[in-house]
């Protein structure tokens, strides 16, 4: 994002990975801004990822914030994960952010610093099967975030990450409602979450905006886990004493 010299507003440039999904937080940001430019690129291509940011800098002038929010999530049992699938997941989820950060950091170091926010996942901190390669790629991104924060802090560059938990878009909610089996699985999943609901794209986007803003001026190398309390752990010894979901009798 580039902040105009004569205005506190920002002009975001959104770049998505060709054939892969954008994390929900960036989708929300795209819908929320008054003006933006967009470009599509295959982030599994290391050189294309770097060229994307170089082009963004050329179009925006001075870039104050970079948000890495594209991701891919092929599932499957670990014993069946192929080399091609593993390489693709790490190329998009970990290597591409490194490529974009390298270009952005070089630019930011010459313009007074900046902020980088990587979209990781709560899965970086837990085992959710069968998604081993995805989980590992997001754990790698968390480690990369901390390394970048340490190496670039003296340049005035802050690097943090947001780790979303269970997040459902309006489109995803419609798909869940149309599939009874998926609706049942989602409903049972909500019982793991103390706040008793799935996250929304806005929940994630607000954490991203905070870390990219001057309000987080003394925060770097950190991961904010936005998951409704799920990773806090714990369960009810007697499940009958567990709080109900909002639409159940006596629910909030």
Whether the ω angle into residue 118 lies within 30 degrees of 0, i.e. cis, is no
Catalytic residue among 15, 134, 189, 237: 134
Q: Give the residue among 58, 151, 53, 64 at the shortest CA–CA distance from 114.
A: 64
Counting every residue written for the chain, the total comes to 252
**Calpha distance 246→174 (Å, rounded):** 19
Cα 223 from Cα 65, distance rounded (Å): 17
Is 134 noted as a catalytic residue in this protein? yes
Element (H or E) spanning 211, and its range?
Answer: helix 201-212
Asked if 13 contacts 61 with a C-beta cutoff of 8 angstroms, the reply is no
How many whole angstroms separate alpha carbon 244 and alpha carbon 248? 6
CA 158 to chain centre: 16
Q: Which residues are catalytic?
A: 134
């Amino acid at each position: 994002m580039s902040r105009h010299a004569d205005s506190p507003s920002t002009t975001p440039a959104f770049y998505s990975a060709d054939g892969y999904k954008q994390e929900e937080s960036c989708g929300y940001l795209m819908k929320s801004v008054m003006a933006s430019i967009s470009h599509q690129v295959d982030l599994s291509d290391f050189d294309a990822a770097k060229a994307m940011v170089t082009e963004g800098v050329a179009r925006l002038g001075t870039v104050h914030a970079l948000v890495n929010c594209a991701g891919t999530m092929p599932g499957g049992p670990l014993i069946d994960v192929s080399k091609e699938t593993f390489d693709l997941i790490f190329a998009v989820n970990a290597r591409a952010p490194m490529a974009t950060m390298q270009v952005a950091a070089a630019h930011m170091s010459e313009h007074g610093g900046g902020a980088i926010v990587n979209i990781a996942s709560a899965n970086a901190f837990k085992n959710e099967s069968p998604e081993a390669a995805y989980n590992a790629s997001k754990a790698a991104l968390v480690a990369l975030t901390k390394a970048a924060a340490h190496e670039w802090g003296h340049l005035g560059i802050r690097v943090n990450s947001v780790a979303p938990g269970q997040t459902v878009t309006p489109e995803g909610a419609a798909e869940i409602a149309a599939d009874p089996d998926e609706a049942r699985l989602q409903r049972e999943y909500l019982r793991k979450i103390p706040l008793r609901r799935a996250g929304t794209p806005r929940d994630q986007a607000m954490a991203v905006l905070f870390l990219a803003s001057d309000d987080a001026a003394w925060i770097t190398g950190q991961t904010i886990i936005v998951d409704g309390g799920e990773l806090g752990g714990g369960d009810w010894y007697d499940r009958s004493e567990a709080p109900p979901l909002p639409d159940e009798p006596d629910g909030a």
